[in-house]
Structure 1
Amino acid sequence: MNRTSIALFNNKGGVGKTTLTYHLAHMFRRLGLTVLAVDLDPQANLTSMCLDETELEELWENGSELTAQGAVPPAPPVAGRVRGGQTIADAVRPILEGTGDVASVSPAELQAGLWLLAGSLDLSRFEDKLSGEWFRTFAGDIAAIRTTTAFHRIVEQAAEEVGADIVLIDVGPNLGAINRAALIAADSVLMPLAADLFSLKGLSNLGPTLRDWRRDWQQLVLPRVPAGFSAPRAGMRPLGYVIMQPEMRLDRPVKAYERWLERIPRVYSAAVLGESGPEQGDERHRIATLRNYRSLMPLAHDARKPMFDLKAADGALGSTQKYVQTCYREFRGLAEKVLARMEELDGG
């Protein structure tokens, strides 16, 4: 397959977006794809899920508070998956400080076929710089275009370095400048949603904003990008949405949940696609509904592996192991549907 990038985005937090990104990345790898996961959320939650604390210290080159106080000895250098200074924040630091263009950083190999382009809390410093340069890109300002395309070029270089088939981009839950630069670098957008008022309101804001960003970039900026300069196309094709279930039986949603669930197709069509609302019961844009696996998350966190890879040795015993198998089936089905949806949009 041709390399493609998917941003997972909802401007309402707490819907399980990072957990979904993490598990999809692992499942795509299980399906035989080479995967690059990219953490463009300044909270760096995806990076924290993928790496242990010692690796994070090495990556971010900051000792823990206890180490700084002399309460514990410094950790020995980590040999293997990570090296200090290899985050996206390190890559954009020359632009931020006015000393040059993006620096080269290498993704960390989590396992064969699965790579992480790590995030950092320092990335939040790039927000103001990106915000100030956006409107200058409309006039063809080369420095502004270089800044705004930084994420695209960093991800492109990393994906080429590891031979990625698919890039998954995790972004924060807002409509700020960092997310704008991240999303214009994405070919497609997958939206995790909760069936509640906040997700519906988020969709109403998110959809028109994405269409505005796409239009502005394609019509006002791309014609002014110098020949030979690598700039994103700002495809941002909506793939569809994934319903993240709250804690309730999947086959018996409570009435309030069901009420919001029924409204999502119409709001998604109108706000995200700019189309008239579908007929009642038309859910062709819903890719999947994932049940709540909160009981598996602590085990997965301790084992540093996806929920669907938990074994008896990780504490997944008896009926919990059956739950793990259900989790595997659901995530495999989701990954296959996402790939099928991309093929469908490509006209395959």
Structure 2
Amino acid sequence: MTSIALFNNKGGVGKTTLTYHLAHMIRRLGLSVLAIDLDPQANLTSMCLDETEIEELWENPSELSGAVSAGLPEVGRVRSGQTIADAVRPILEGTGDIAAVEPARLEPDLWLLPGSLDLSRFEDKLSNEWSRAYAGDIAAIRTSTAFHRIIQQAAQAVDADVVLIDVGPNLGAINRAALISADTVLMPLAADLFSLKGLSNLGPTLRQWRADWQQLVLPRVPPGISAPQAEMRPLGYVIMQPEMRLDRPVKAYERWLKRIPRVYSSEVLDEAQPTREDDLHRIATMRNYRSLMPLAHDARKPMFDLKPADGALGSTQQYVKTCFLEFQALAREVLVRIGEPLEEVRPLAPTRPS
């Protein structure tokens, strides 16, 4: 199992949309996928589940006792007390360690560990316990490793090949705990000043978190507690194209685009002689599919699965096929970079209209 955190210090670049579609496409390529919503905004959860399911998930009383059941939820159904906030509530309230939660089964081989707005309450707890973990405080170590152990339990329960972790656009304590739990980090970027500044902040911060965890905390973790290695290996970046407008000319977009490889190499990879024009680390460039998003939201399916019955008529259906091929290429390249053997991935063709 390999975990991938999708993260950018700048919001609004399409990170959650990318996570959602990448999860569906990797499943279509023949692997079992678990998506984890660690963003307190819970946007990924709102993309995956309808309002009735989310209401049931958030408003019913939590059922925190017991281990993960062998009878997992049916497709399209969730159970109460099964969000990431429920999993950490015993730590937050001082009543115990992490609680087992059941991922929601969205489709065969595709699972979601739902998020919750209540997760934001865990921010201060994580922040306060971080420095105490340096001294080997066991309670602080349990708190700091909570996300890692929740992800580990959920991935084992559904036998996931790939875990995709959606996190919010900040450098706070929740994201720190989420990212140290990730094997790799994939960075969605826009070609603009804000994404470049985000990279400049992100790279040094990830290196500092990695060093602090590996040097100060890991040597003090007791044998009975599973702790992450904080590898956070950068996979590369995905350029999310903007919707071109008259006030954002193509030349400005190209100017920022040319600067990304060098900033990524110097700030994220810490290379002494950063790459200038080499796009080795760019995994893909994804065009703007904003016209398809409302249809996909209403149909509750990925954009590349839209059919005429969903409103994807005429030339829009060709756009759907283009979307399919782009996400297929992206998913394949991501699998190559995490070391998944492509010979085990079954052939894939676009879904025919119905």
TM-score by length of 1: 0.91
1:13 corresponding residue in structure 2: 11
The structure 2 residue matched to 1:36, chosen from 26, 31, 34, is 34
Spell out, residue by residue over 1:77-134, the C-alpha distance to the aligned partner (whole angstroms, 9 max, x if none): x996201110000010000000000011110000100000000000000000000000
The structure 2 residue matched to 1:110, chosen from 106, 110, 128, is 106
The structure 2 residue matched to 1:100, chosen from 96, 99, 113, is 96
Which amino acid is the alignment partner of residue 167 of structure 2?
Answer: V
Distance in 1, Cα, partners of 2:224 & 2:118? 31
1:178 aligns with 2:174: yes
1:188 corresponding residue in structure 2: 184
1:321 corresponding residue in structure 2: 317
The structure 1 residue matched to 2:285, chosen from 270, 286, 289, is 289
Spell out, residue by residue over 1:324-346, the C-alpha distance to the aligned partner (whole angstroms, 9 max, x if none): 000000000000011111229xx
Residue 281 of structure 1 deviates from its aligned partner by 2.0
The structure 2 residue matched to 1:217, chosen from 205, 213, 217, is 213
Distance in 1, Cα, partners of 2:238 & 2:272? 21
For structure 2, the 5+ residue unaligned runs are 62-73, 341-354
CA contact (8 A) 1:4 1:187 kept: yes
The structure 2 residue matched to 1:240, chosen from 236, 239, 246, is 236
Distance in 2, Cα, partners of 1:282 & 1:158? 38
Distance in 1, Cα, partners of 2:272 & 2:297? 42
Which amino acid is the alignment partner of residue 224 of structure 1?
Answer: R
CA contact (8 A) 2:60 2:80 kept: no
Distance in 2, Cα, partners of 1:277 & 1:113? 43
The alignment partner of 1:207 has SS state of helix
Spell out, residue by residue over 1:267-314, the C-alpha distance to the aligned partner (whole angstroms, 9 max, x if none): 001110100344442010000000000000000000000000001110
1:331 aligns with 2:327: yes
1:231 corresponding residue in structure 2: 227
CA contact (8 A) 2:265 2:275 kept: no
Spell out, residue by residue over 1:142-199, the C-alpha distance to the aligned partner (whole angstroms, 9 max, x if none): 0000000000001100000000000000000000000000000000000000000000
1:263 aligns with 2:259: yes
The structure 1 residue matched to 2:44, chosen from 43, 46, 68, is 46
1:57 corresponding residue in structure 2: 55
CA contact (8 A) 1:7 1:190 kept: yes
Distance in 2, Cα, partners of 1:59 & 1:100? 22
1:137 corresponding residue in structure 2: 133
1:204 corresponding residue in structure 2: 200
Shift in alpha-carbon separation, 1:313–1:32, aligned structure 2, 3 A: same
Which amino acid is the alignment partner of residue 122 of structure 1?
Answer: D
CA contact (8 A) 1:265 1:277 kept: no
The structure 2 residue matched to 1:88, chosen from 79, 84, 104, is 84
Which amino acid is the alignment partner of residue 263 of structure 1?
Answer: R
The alignment partner of 1:275 has SS state of coil
The alignment partner of 2:97 has SS state of coil
CA contact (8 A) 1:127 1:178 kept: yes
CA contact (8 A) 1:267 1:277 kept: no
The alignment partner of 2:337 has SS state of helix
2:65 corresponding residue in structure 1: none
Shift in alpha-carbon separation, 1:79–1:20, aligned structure 2, 3 A: closer
Distance in 1, Cα, partners of 2:15 & 2:242? 14
CA contact (8 A) 2:243 2:288 kept: yes
The alignment partner of 1:22 has SS state of helix
Which amino acid is the alignment partner of residue 290 of structure 1?
Answer: M
CA contact (8 A) 1:5 1:167 kept: yes
CA contact (8 A) 1:290 1:330 kept: yes
1:254 corresponding residue in structure 2: 250
1:64-83 correspondence to structure 2 within 5 Å: 81-83=77-79
CA contact (8 A) 2:76 2:106 kept: no
**Percent of aligned pairs sharing the same letter:** 82
1:120 aligns with 2:149: no
The alignment partner of 1:32 has SS state of coil
The alignment partner of 1:281 has SS state of coil
Give the total of aligned pairs: 326
For structure 1, the 5+ residue unaligned runs are 64-77
1:301-320 correspondence to structure 2 within 5 Å: 301-320=297-316
Distance in 1, Cα, partners of 2:259 & 2:75? 51
